[in-house]
Amino acid sequence: MRDPERIDEILDLIGRIWKKYPDLRFQQLIYICQSEYSEMHKGLGKVESEEKDGFKRVGFDLFNLEDDQFLKYLKFSLKHGTWSKDA
Q: What percent of the chain has pLDDT over 90?
A: 89
Rounded distance between C-alpha atoms, residue 31 and residue 37, angstroms: 10
Question: Confidence class of residue 21 from pLDDT cuts 50, 70 and 90?
Answer: very high
Number of Cβ within 10 Å of residue 38's Cβ equals 20
**Predicted confidence (pLDDT) at residue 87 exceeds the cutoff of 50:** no
**Spatial distance between the Cα atoms of 9 and 55, rounded to a whole number of angstroms:** 38
d(CA 1, CA 9): 17
Domain boundaries, the chain: 5-80
Q: Is the predicted pLDDT of residue 49 greater than 50, yes or no? A: yes
β-strand partners of 59: 47
